[in-house]
Structure formats: structure tokens, C-alpha cells
Amino acid sequence: MSLLSLADVHASYGKSTVLWGVSLDVDRGEVVSLLGRNGAGKTTTLRTIAGVLTPGQGSITFDGEEITALPDFEISRRGISYVAEERSIFPDLTVEENLRMGAVKGGDGIMTRDEVYDLLPRLRERRTYAASNLSGGEQQMLVIARALLSRTELLLLDEPTEGLAPQIVERIRELIEHIREQGVTILLVEQNLEVAVETADRSYIIDKGEIVYEGTTAELADDEAVQQEYLGVGLSVE
């Protein structure tokens, strides 16, 4: 049985329907990427899973339980953490205070605060800095670190490498691998096809609110026609 399953999910903003019958599955321990062009419905899919948006039709199950109509805080309590593209930090709080806010939410987290600092020494160096004074890459690490301090079974990552320098992108990729090693399942929305291919086991492509491709990441890496048709890019990794 899949840890997460979406079946025929439709979702709208007001009268504008964005998702048209999305179905996908994520098995426990997997990293699955959800790819697509801007506006294809990737973020809306994550927001719907996280309970920020309520589906108009279809069902979402997590660990065998129906969560379709649950509010976001109830879904979070069940072990789903959503790291939004907007890097939702508390800008006036320090790094340390931001991490304490994450720990309060989850109780027994994936890691302790000391373990997070060991994993991300840059955050330890800046623990007394206001979060608003961090670079974009540091803010992204802080948001992910907060999720590590909560009770997370499924991590929803929305464009974690967007706008970051190549060396920071590589650090985020390594961080995703480390989170996976802790037994956390990951659904990754990513514009960087190379990161998705290097990180994910399987991939879905969404286009105009519908899933148009499903396969192993190795199969996607070999299918240049699909890459060009639905993503508008080719893969350049070796």
C-alpha cells in the first residue's frame, strides 16, 4: 500500500480549476519528483495534499487514512510537512528561535537541534542572526531544517533549489539525500531537471493540471522527446 495516494483529484481557486483528475502514488521511503512547466499545477498539487486547498473532487489518503477534507494543521499532525516555495520563515526571529518554533510543532522530530546544526553548520554559525538577514540559500536550509525537527513522515518540497547558486543547489541536493536516509518519504516539485533525476526514484509530469507522464527517473532521463514536449528542456547530466 502506498504511503500517499491521490485519486482523481480536482482543485480550484475560485471558479478557476487548476487540477483535473490528478492521480499519483508515493511509496514509503521513495523520493518522487513532480515536474512540469510553470503554471502546470505542481504547487497546487502540494497545497492540496497539505490541506491548504480543499479538493472539489477525488480523494487523498495518507498511511491508509482518508485526509481529503482535513484542515492543514490536522494533516501536519499526521506527519506531513510542507516546505513552500515562498520560504516561509519568521523573519524577525533568530535562526535559533525559528528552529525552536519547528520543534514545538512536532514533538519527537527526525533530528534534534544539535544534529541539525551538525548537518548544517552554516546555520549554527548564524544561530543568533535574524532570519531576514540570511541569504536565499540559508533561508531555504532553515525552512528544511525546521521540518527535520518535526515529526515528519512525508516531506513535500516545493522548488527547493529555485534561484540558488550552483554550489547551494548541490548542498540542497545532498540535504535531500540525507533526509531520505533518515527514512523520510519525499515528494519533490523541482524545475531543475538534473536535480530531480539525480535525486528521485520515480517521476510524474503534470501539464495543464493533468498527469501526462509516469515512469522511473532513469526512463525519463532516457526519453528526450518527453523532456522536450512537456518540460521544454533537455537533460545534460552524464
Q: Is the dihedral of CA 8, 14, 15, 16 positive or negative?
A: negative
pLDDT digits (tens, 9 = 90+) for 13-28: 999 999 999 999 999 9
pLDDT digits (tens, 9 = 90+) for 24-55: 999 999 999 999 999 999 999 999 999 999 99
Q: Is the pLDDT of residue 106 over 50?
A: no
Predicted pLDDT of residue 237: 40
pLDDT digits (tens, 9 = 90+) for 187-200: 999 888 999 999 99
State pTM to two decimals: 0.90
Residue 131 to residue 134: CA distance in whole angstroms? 5
Q: Which domains does the chain have, with CATH numbers?
A: 1-79+181-232 (3.40.50.300), 81-152 (no CATH)
User: For residue 202, what is its C-alpha cell?
Assistant: 520515480
